[in-house]
Amino acid sequence: MSTPVGAAADTGNDWYWVTDGSPSSTQSLVAVDKTGARAAKVAWQAKVQHVEALAWSSGSLYVGDIGDPDSGRDTIQVLSPLTTDGDSTSWKAWDLSYPDGPHDADAMAVSPKGNIYIITKGSSPAVYRAPASLSRSGENRMTKVADAPAGVTDAVFLPGGDTVAVRTQSQILVLDAYKWTTKASAPLKSSGGDSLSADLSGKGLLAGQKTAKLAGLDVPTGVSSASATPKPSASTSAASADSASSAGGGANLSGTVVAMGGAVVMAVLAGVVVHRVGLRR
């Protein structure tokens, strides 16, 4: 597995679902636990075109087949396996369309109530909401609810459902989920990567880095101009050729780094102890 484009914290099972969007990682759903071992691999036969995001909400995994770099898709789709227990699963899927023509998107967030939001990129980035009641047999026309920050690569609802954390290549932003205005931000001096997930504690974030790493971050609580350079782990080797290093932005680093690679997913615990900033309420 290369650089993750999507990650989602499965709090029910205490592990993370991850994907790099490649055919090999979308033909099966893969999860890693907190120790770094592969915790689950669930096969399915879903037909996808351009997976860019994962989300976890109310016990369900959502897979965002939402990429459209050539603006040639009449509809995108969001899929959800019927179960993530066992070796294989069937699934449900919803076809979504934009009210103003095709868009490319990297970011999807699913609210605690199960409402799906897509954040597009390009010259006019925006937030679109899928209907609350979704049809599995027809097209579901989305509604534009707000303009979006430029270059959003992933998004996740924070606990409580009234704020959304979004990631660009240079920032972590916390947005009001009703007004879509910025409540907090922190620069992110990262080493590449697109994904953003809540962590299993519900108090922090995991940001994807290049070479298949996920690094812990605190949630921004104010508007900051400070940033942090990715820091190497105290231990950077595992039983395989995988390695891990700690990385972060203006929000403090956590002590968790997950590395994913090859057929066997491995990780090491970073030897870093850092104060965590709590969520603003």
Residue-by-residue DSSP string for 196-248? EEE-TTSSEEEEEETTTEEEEEEPP-SB-------EE-S----SSS---EE--
Decide if 53 contacts 7 (C-beta within 8 A).
Answer: no
pLDDT for the residue 34: 78
- d(CA 48, CA 5) in angstroms, rounded, equals 15
pLDDT averaged over consecutive 10-residue blocks of the chain (281 residues)?
86 93 87 84 95 96 97 97 95 98 98 97 96 96 97 96 95 96 90 88 89 84 57 25 31 51 30 26 28
pLDDT for the residue 3: 81
pLDDT for the residue 24: 76
Decide if 119 contacts 74 (C-beta within 8 A).
Answer: no
Nearest alpha-carbon partner for 174 in 5, 166, 95: 166
pLDDT for the residue 212: 67
Decide if 38 contacts 212 (C-beta within 8 A).
Answer: no
Q: Please name the residue that has the structure tokens 């519900």.
A: 202
pLDDT for the residue 258: 61
Rounded to two decimals, what is the model's pTM?
0.82
Partner residues linked to 171 by β-bridges:
187
pLDDT for the residue 249: 37
- d(CA 131, CA 141) in angstroms, rounded, equals 7
Give me the CATH topology for the region 6-259. Neuraminidase (2.120.10)
Decide if 7 contacts 16 (C-beta within 8 A).
Answer: yes
CA distance to 97, 98, 127, 145, 162, per residue, from 179 (Å): 23, 20, 11, 9, 10
Instruction: Give domain limits for the chain.
Output: 6-259
Where b means 16+ CB within 10 Å and e means fewer, 161-200 reads eebbbbbbeebbbbbebeebeebbbbbbebeebbbbbbbb
